[in-house]
């Protein structure tokens, strides 16, 4: 059966944040992400698969599946080359418990706006066992279809929260949780003592971390270029910088655990 | 004076690799990249700026500048939000001297196809003092407008070469230059002795490094996730993985230099 116009219009609307917020739904595409969402217990509202996909993968899926043609899939897909399966899932409501922040590593994102960067950072967080990412409301929306796809499934495991940093930062400070910021004027990350837990704050693609939030950082770190001192590029991409800081913090934590 | 249709058509054609190869030209946009290209001695074939830009920046530029309206700039720009300046520059012909590969760190890219990833990797190379990147012919073209913009100017300093890996890999092997590959089955990069120089080989976004080239690697490295052993995401983005390997190699090299 062909897809109704209403359904097509609804799915297409989920490209807009306003429509996602109103409906509480987001779109994910591809066998990997869809099966990971199902396994992770996400509520799947609608599931569309081609005959091929249903024949190969759908045996153990309990959600109602609507079999659609490749032409219909093309109409609802946000990908240049549509996959075999697309789902509409409910946006989860994650609870944030700031006081746990002392016992784990988390990320603060000050207005990372590029969906590709946001997705890549969620994927990095997943790799490094980071459960929570707290973003300013102006940051890219984690349930934007482009972000969901760029996470390669990490969105099923990492909790992305949005909060007003004006009240958040003093609260983290009051709890005495370390906040690590990166800055071109910071200390060489490899020559600085670092806490094992706390928040890493990363900033906007062109403006970096807002000076108002930098005030709350307990360490300002610099990722050294090479050869040191010889400045060439002005900075690293925000996702790349996030990865280098996370990698170094986890390297130390693993080394310490192995020493015990 | 308004831009001629021929000029508009020519600049627009530079979105295609074939047209770039035939004309030997590429497009760069924005004050930062354009001024860096000029400073680096690139041949600027055409330079278009708005009246605002010319008034503010053009005093010391010796290239002929064509002043154009914002409407005309919009017609030739590849950006969603056009900048104030756009140039057409000659694609440089870089010489590759493989035997120097023993005394420096270089990158081999096996079919990195996403222009954003390619640009980000060029930017990473620039940060870490890597002069040469050698790519398979199927890799994204470094002079694609999207790649040029994503390098944030690093394209002015890093030399990107294209070569057939079938003859390249045995040649590197014959020269006895280390080749480091990343693999999910590799050794923990932080617990492995690494050479300070050589080639780092990184692979395609979905297929990784071709098994045929992996045979030539002298070390297979794994970037450990956290907590170790608990696999969640299957992999890291290729630009992110490149950054983590480069950061670790340069960390060791700096530490060794400081010990001397």
Residue of chain A whose alpha carbon sits nearest to that of B240: A240
pLDDT band at B2 (very low <50, low <70, confident <90, very high): confident
Check CB contact under 8 Å for B244 and A239.
no
Residue A232 pLDDT: 67
Q: How many CB pairs under 8 A join A and B?
A: 108
The span from the CA of B236 to the CA of A209, in Å, is 24
For residue range B93-111, what is the model confidence (pLDDT) as tens digits? 999 999 999 999 999 999 9
Which residues in chain B have Cβ-Cβ distances shorter than 8 Å to A120? 237, 239-240
Q: Cβ(A177)–Cβ(A198) under 8 Å?
A: yes
Check CB contact under 8 Å for B152 and A233.
yes
Residue (of A127, A132, A131) closest to A108 by Cα position:
A132
The span from the CA of B194 to the CA of B246, in Å, is 12
Question: Which one-letter DSSP state was computed for residue A190?
Answer: G
Check CB contact under 8 Å for A226 and B116.
no
Which residues in chain A have Cβ-Cβ distances shorter than 8 Å to B123? 233, 236-237, 240
Helix axis angle, B238-259 to A238-259, nearest 10°: 60
Residue (of B95, B38, B46) closest to B68 by Cα position:
B46
Residue with tokens 């990797």: B121
Strand partners, B188: B222
Residue B231 pLDDT: 62
Closest partner CB to A236 (pick from B127, B224, B237): B127
Handedness of CA B154, B160, B165, B168 (dihedral sign): negative
Q: What is the ipTM of this complex?
A: 0.94
The span from the CA of B78 to the CA of A155, in Å, is 31
What does the pLDDT profile of chain A (260 residues) look like in tens digits?
689 999 999 999 999 999 999 999 999 999 999 999 999 999 999 999 999 999 998 888 888 899 999 999 999 999 999 999 999 999 999 999 999 999 999 999 999 999 999 999 999 999 999 999 999 999 999 999 999 999 999 999 999 999 999 999 999 999 999 999 998 889 999 999 999 999 999 999 999 999 999 999 999 999 999 998 766 667 899 999 999 999 999 999 999 888 76
For residue range B29-62, what is the model confidence (pLDDT) as tens digits? 999 999 999 999 999 999 999 999 999 988 888 8
CA distance B1 to chain A (A): 33
Full DSSP string of B185-243: EEEEGGGS---SSEEEEEEBTTTBS-HHHHTT-SEEEE---SSTT---SS---HHHHHH
Q: Is the pLDDT of residue B235 over 90?
A: no
Q: Is the pLDDT of residue B156 over 80?
A: yes
Q: Cβ(A192)–Cβ(A221) under 8 Å?
A: yes
Which residues in chain A have Cβ-Cβ distances shorter than 8 Å to B237? 120, 123-124, 239
Closest partner CB to B240 (pick from A227, A235, A240): A240
Check CB contact under 8 Å for A247 and B248.
yes
Could you tell me where the DSSP H helices lie in chain B? Answer: 5-13, 17-23, 31-39, 51-57, 70-76, 115-127, 145-150, 165-174, 211-214, 238-259
Residue (of A41, A247, A105) closest to B245 by Cα position:
A247
pTM exceeds 0.90 for this model: yes
């Amino acid at each position: 059966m062909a897809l109704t116009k209403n359904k097509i219009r609804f799915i297409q609307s989920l490209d807009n944040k306003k429509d996602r917020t109103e409906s509480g739904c987001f779109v994910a595409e591809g066998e990997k992400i869809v099966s990971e969402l199902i396994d992770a217990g996400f509520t799947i509202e609608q599931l569309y698969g081609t005959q091929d996909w249903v024949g190969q993968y759908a045996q153990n899926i309990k959600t109602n599946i609507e079999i659609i043609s490749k032409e219909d899939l093309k109409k609802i897909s946000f990908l240049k080359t549509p996959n075999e399966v697309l789902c509409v899932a409910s946006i989860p409501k994650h609870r944030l418990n700031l006081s746990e922040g002392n016992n784990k590593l988390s990320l603060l994102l000050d207005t990372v706006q590029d969906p590709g960067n946001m997705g890549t950072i969620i994927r990095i967080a997943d790799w490094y066992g980071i459960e929570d990412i707290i973003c300013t409301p102006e940051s890219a929306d984690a349930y934007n279809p482009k972000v969901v796809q760029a996470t390669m499934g990490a969105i099923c495991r990492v909790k992305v929260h949005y909060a007003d940093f004006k009240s958040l930062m003093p609260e983290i400070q009051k709890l005495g949780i370390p906040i690590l910021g990166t800055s071109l004027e910071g200390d060489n990350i490899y020559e600085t003592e670092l806490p094992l837990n706390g928040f890493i704050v990363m900033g906007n693609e062109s403006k970096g971390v807002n000076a108002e939030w930098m005030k709350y950082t307990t360490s300002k770190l610099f990722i050294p270029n090479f050869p040191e001192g010889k400045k060439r590029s002005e900075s690293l991409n925000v996702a790349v910088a996030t990865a280098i800081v996370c990698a170094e913090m986890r390297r130390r934590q693993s080394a310490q655990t192995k020493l015990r």
